[in-house]
């Protein structure tokens, strides 16, 4: 202790717990800083976890790049796929056909249900190279042979479909033919194609589970009357976060007639919304730190008033303005260090036991606070980003230090004679 500057020694002495009102204010200030730091770390880490989980779900179903032609189909897709595969950043390429169709169920009892989901035609032999869809089947199997169909879990639930059920699919060509027959005044019926549900998948993302069904590439080509053409190519990269760089290279190699879109562009709406929400939450919750800073300011003002005579004595024996200023700033710094350290520990502890606490709150309240059918996550996600934690702790410490600047500045400007006259 003797090696410490006398300003810091006095600051520590003044902050020793005493049964005074000032000690209570100081304790409240430390608790305020602790809670502010802990809440910020917890919320930002959970939001980062949401972002990571969402990206993983999106990449589990979508490829990193989608390549097609504006207003046209790809006739020579095998030759184009070969050119794309020559790029060093590309890991795999697979063709696809995708579009909306009209589906009608064929229940054994009751009325049929009509919906308009998205059908995605894939090559079963190549699909595992560009998505996790084949490994995401939760009922039945990933079997697209014949008129096999694999549908999302939410879509199956909404349409009351199970593995083995038959469904009727009206393609865009069928609907155009029905319209043409009606205009011609003929009564010729257009029969839909029948498909059998061979599997049900769950990729962990509600939008995909509720809207998409998967057929073989050849069946999808028949539905859209494409012959051997496809709507585009799905490209998997070695690193999904290099998608923008790969897009630039492939755009130059393929030419302006081709449209190259990254997974970030196709899902920019939800990813940007999550990013904005994270930033807004950070700024809103940071006001907790400002409230805690007012507690430090009020405690410092009380300290200065109580220690006015001591300030006069210090200045009369040779203490300068800077030393007095640092004396009271040291108190704010110590309060900040204690509060930030305690908040960091509390935040890490809460994140470690977040799911146990969530289960406890579910039992106490009687309802699910984090419904998995809405968020598509079985557990509360969290990702501790060192940069975010450092920013929270560093900014909180600076605010705590600045909170005591005005009282410390006023204390340093006191004249020895005026301070010694203070009663």
Question: What CA–CA distance (Å, rounded) separates 297 from 184?
Answer: 85
Above pLDDT 70, what percent of the chain?
Answer: 82
Burial of 16 (0-12, 13-18, 19+ CB in 10 A): exposed
Q: How many CA atoms lie within 13 A of 12 on its CB side?
A: 9
Where do the structural domains in the chain lie, given as residue ranges?
Answer: 6-56+273-420, 63-262
Greater pLDDT, 279 or 190: 279
Question: What CA–CA distance (Å, rounded) separates 240 from 154?
Answer: 27
H-helix or E-strand spanning residue 402: helix 386-403
| 235 within 8 A of 87, measured Cβ to Cβ | no
Q: Give tens-digit pLDDT for 109-161.
A: 878 888 999 999 999 888 888 888 888 899 999 999 989 999 999 899 999 99
Q: Mean pLDDT over all residues of the chain?
A: 82
Report the C-alpha dihedral over residues 52, 55, 60, 64, rounded to 10 degrees: -130
What is the torsional sign of CA 299, 305, 309, 315?
positive
Question: What CA–CA distance (Å, rounded) separates 335 from 322?
Answer: 20
* CB proximity list for 299: less than 8 A, separation 6 or greater: 22, 25, 26, 29, 335
Question: What CA–CA distance (Å, rounded) separates 418 from 416?
Answer: 6
In 101-201 the beta strands, taken as DSSP E runs, fall at 102-105, 114-115, 118-122, 137-140, 148-152, 166-170, 193-201
What are the DSSP calls for 347-371, one per residue? HHHHHHTHHHHHHHHHHHHSS-SS-
Question: What CA–CA distance (Å, rounded) separates 169 from 257?
Answer: 32
pTM: 0.70
Q: How high is the pLDDT of residue 1?
A: 44
Greater pLDDT, 236 or 290: 236
pLDDT of 283 above 70: yes
């Amino acid at each position: 202790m003797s090696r410490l500057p006398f300003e810091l020694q006095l600051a520590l002495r003044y902050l020793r717990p005493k049964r005074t009102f000032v000690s209570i204010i100081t304790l409240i200030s430390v608790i305020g800083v602790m809670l502010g730091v802990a809440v910020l770390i917890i919320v930002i880490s959970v939001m980062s976890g949401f972002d990571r989980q969402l990206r993983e779900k999106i990449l589990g179903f979508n490829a990193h790049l989608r390549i097609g032609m504006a207003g046209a189909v790809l006739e020579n897709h095998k030759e184009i796929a070969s050119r794309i595969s020559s790029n060093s950043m590309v890991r795999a390429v697979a063709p696809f056909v995708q579009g909306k169709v009209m589906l009608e169920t064929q229940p054994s009892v009751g009325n049929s249900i009509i919906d308009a989901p998205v059908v995605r035609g894939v090559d079963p032999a190549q699909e595992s190279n560009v998505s996790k869809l084949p490994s995401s089947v939760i009922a039945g199997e990933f079997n697209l042979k014949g008129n096999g169909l694999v549908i999302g879990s939410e879509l199956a639930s909404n349409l009351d479909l199970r593995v083995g059920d038959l469904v009727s699919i009206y393609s865009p060509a069928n609907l155009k033919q029905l319209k043409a027959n009606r205009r011609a005044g003929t009564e010729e019926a257009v029969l839909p194609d029948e498909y059998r549900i061979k599997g049900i998948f769950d990729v962990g993302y509600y939008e995909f589970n509720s809207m998409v069904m998967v057929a073989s590439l050849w069946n999808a080509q028949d539905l859209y009357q494409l012959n051997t053409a496809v709507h585009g190519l799905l490209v998997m990269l070695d690193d999904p976060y290099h998608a923008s760089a790969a897009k630039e290279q492939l755009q130059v190699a393929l030419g302006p007639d081709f449209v190259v879109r990254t997974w970030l562009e196709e899902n920019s709406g939800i990813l940007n919304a999550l990013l904005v929400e994270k930033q807004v939450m950070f700024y809103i919750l940071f006001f907790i730190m400002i409230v805690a800073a007012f507690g430090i300011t009020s405690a410092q003002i009380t300290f200065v008033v109580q220690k006015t005579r001591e300030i006069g004595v210090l200045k009369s024996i040779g203490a300068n303005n800077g030393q007095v200023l640092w004396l009271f700033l040291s108190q704010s710094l110590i309060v900040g260090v204690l509060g930030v350290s305690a908040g960091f520990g509390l935040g890490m502890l809460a994140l470690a036991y977040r799911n146990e606490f969530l289960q406890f709150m579910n039992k106490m309240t009687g309802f699910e606070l984090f419904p998995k059918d809405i968020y598509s996550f079985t557990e509360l996600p969290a990702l501790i980003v060192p940069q975010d934690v450092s920013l929270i702790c560093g900014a909180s410490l600076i605010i705590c230090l600045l909170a005591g600047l005005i009282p410390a500045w006023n204390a340093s400007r006191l004249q020895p004679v005026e301070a010694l006259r203070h009663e």
